[in-house]
Amino acid sequence: MTTAARNLRDHFEALRANKWFESFVIAIIIISALLIGAKTYEETSRFEQIMGWFDLFITVFFLAELLIRLAAERRPVDFFKNGWNIFDTIIVVASLIPVDDSEMVLLARLLRIFRVLRLVSLIPELRMLMAALLKSIPRMGYVLLLMFIIFYIYAAIGSFLFASVDEFLWGNISIAMLTLFRVATFESWTSIMYGTMEQYPWSWLYYLTFIFLTAFVFLNMMIGIVLEVMQKESAAMALESGEGEAADVKWIRAQVSTLQAQLDRIESKLK
């Protein structure tokens, strides 16, 4: 690599690490999201041409920003070793689909909505939250499986007992499971309970035990799983930053030791 190319890469690397540039990119992403939302209002149709120019500017800016980050890498292939960089590349390339084409206009608009997700790749805290969410999904799957079993049992019981009370809510097990989902989300669950209590006064016990299991126990289990994974991800992030600080401290100590040795040699020569 020539000296000019190395200097250009260093400039791109400094620009990529610049906080002001990063903040400007985040601001453009937010403006892009607001622009997409504004297009859903009929009142903005009179500014369609201006908004089209804004959209073109945002697309070109995202492409330039992606190329800057790519050029800042010592080896361009290392850029695509990061999953978030691949995600950004897909979003930016998808944004290049022309909106004017009648066959692709819907797809292009839908893909432009996902540009707001670039905030996740730019902000470390959001990346940590997303990583914690993705890593907690496998463990949450077992909780969801247990919840499904509870739903199925209660739906079968409810269908057998309450179908004569309300065929629309308890006609079969699938409808009963939808009704129980409504109960679990507290959507007018008291009216459902009072409807069955007219014929089965003890049915309040059925609803209270179901709500206790689903809304309190299982929900808190899911929250606990996510919090545990978030703590691990936060500790890993702190450890990475701590290792970086430790490396800097080691380098400074090495430089101080070198200077001290040089001073000792100069002092010995003066004596």
Tell me the pLDDT tens digit for each residue of 103-114: 566 666 677 777
Q: Residue 18 burial (CB < 10 Å; 0-12/13-18/19+)?
A: exposed
Using CA atoms, how far apart are residues 13 and 154, in angstroms rounded to an integer? 59
CB atoms within 10 A of CB 35: 17
Indicate the range of 47-56, 62-71, 100-109, 110-119 predicted with least confidence.
100-109
pLDDT mean across residues, the chain: 79
Choice between 207 and 111, residue whose per-residue pLDDT is larger: 207
- Bigger pLDDT: 154 vs 114: 154
CA 91/CA 140 separation, integer angstroms: 29
What pLDDT does 27 receive? 86
Q: b vs e for 198-209, b when ≥16 Cβ sit within 10 Å of the residue's Cβ? A: eeeeebeebbee
What's the average model confidence in pLDDT over 173-200? 90
- For the segment 190-199, the average pLDDT, to the nearest whole number, is 90
pLDDT at 149: 92
Tokens of 239: 């450890």
Percent residues over pLDDT 90 in the chain: 14
pLDDT for residue 100 is more than 70:
no
DSSP code at position 186: T
- What pLDDT sits at residue 254? 61
Determine the Cα–Cα distance for residues 162 and 183; give it in Å rounded to an integer: 15
Residues 214-248 pLDDT 10s = 888 888 888 888 888 877 777 777 766 554 444 45
User: Which one has a higher pLDDT value, 150 or 19?
Assistant: 150
Among positive and negative, which fits the CA dihedral 75, 80, 82, 86?
positive
